[in-house]
Structure formats: structure tokens, C-alpha cells
Amino acid sequence: RQRVISQKLLELGIIVHSVIIGMSLGASQSTSTIRPLVVALTFHQFFEGIGLGGCIVQAKFRLKSVLLMALFFSLTTPVGVVIGIGISSVYDENSPNTLIIQGILSAAAAGILNYMALVDLLAEDFMNPRVQGNGRLQVIVNLSLLLGTGLMSMLAIWA
């Protein structure tokens, strides 16, 4: 039961995050902003989808739930883009109200995703008896984590 709640919380965090990213893309007016954002969004959503898919497989949900989660994940960013395009005529990205709302939504999504990544996803992988009993595998897992974190950070700086 706890696993199902964790998976649903992860899905919620990803949905909120994807809608916010989509809104940022849809509301963008400058091609110098849109191009890097599309590239970053493509890589980010690709790896986020792989991670979510792995979690869904591990949780062993019924087919109906898996299809519903995949549908939500697939539609959230495009829905965010549509919302962003819709609000772009009244959207002032430097307005204090806009910055506060964007900050609150981003903080909520980031908090959920960080919690899920650290507590549920990484802890389970790092505490696996196979990893714990193999020093070489521990080094590989840690280096992979650092490499992934570094690459995502570079992507964030670039976008």
C-alpha cells in the first residue's frame, strides 16, 4: 500500500512539473528562449519518462492504471504548452505576481520530485543487498548518480 501511495505521489509531482515546464515553453515569446527550452525539455522528459516507467513496472500496477499514468504523462506537457500559449497575451514574466506563482508551483513540484528521488527511488536502489555487498557496484552506482546529476545540471544551465 505504501508503494502505491509513493507511486501516485511521484506521478503527481511529475504531472505538476510537466505542466509548469509546458507553460514556460508556451508563454515564451523569443526564439532564443524557445530553442534551448525545447532541447532541454526533450531530454528532460525522455529521462523522466524512463524513470517513471521503471517505477510503474516495479509497482506492478494493473494495465488500466499503467495506461492511465502513461496517458497523463504524455499529455501534461502539451496541455501546459496550450495553457502557456493561452496566457501569453496577458503574461508578464517579470510581474511580481507571476514570479510568486511560478516560484510556488516550481517549489511544490521540485519538492515532491526531490523527496521521491531521494527517499523512494535512490534509497531503494542504494540499499539493495546486491549493491551493498559489492564495492565495485557501489562505486558504479555512485558515479552514475553523479554523472546523471551533472548532466542534468548542465542541461539546466544551458536552458
Number of domains in the chain: 1
pTM for the structure as a whole: 0.67
pLDDT, residue 62, reads 86
Give the pLDDT band (50/70/90) at residue 52. confident
Whether 16 is covered by a domain: the verdict is yes
Q: For residues 39 and 112, give the distance between their C-alpha atoms in angstroms, rounded to a whole number.
A: 24
Whether 8 is covered by a domain: the verdict is yes
Whether 141 is covered by a domain: the verdict is no
Distances in Å between the Cα of 145 and the Cα atoms of 6, 23, 120, 140, 148 are: 21, 29, 15, 9, 5
pLDDT, residue 159, reads 56
Q: What residue numbers bound the domain in which 115 lies?
A: 2-127
Whether 42 is covered by a domain: the verdict is yes
Give the pLDDT band (50/70/90) at residue 2. low
Whether 132 is covered by a domain: the verdict is no
Whether 134 is covered by a domain: the verdict is no
| pLDDT tens profile 90-138 | 877 778 887 787 778 777 777 777 777 777 678 878 888 998 999 999 9
Q: What is the mean pLDDT of the chain?
A: 81
| pLDDT tens profile 82-91 | 998 888 888 7
Average pLDDT over residues 23-29: 80
Whether 74 is covered by a domain: the verdict is yes
**Is pLDDT above 60 for 4?**
yes
Whether 82 is covered by a domain: the verdict is yes
The proportion of the chain whose per-residue pLDDT surpasses 70, expressed as a percent, equals 92
pLDDT, residue 134, reads 92
Q: For residues 121 and 101, give the distance between their C-alpha atoms in angstroms, rounded to a whole number.
A: 29
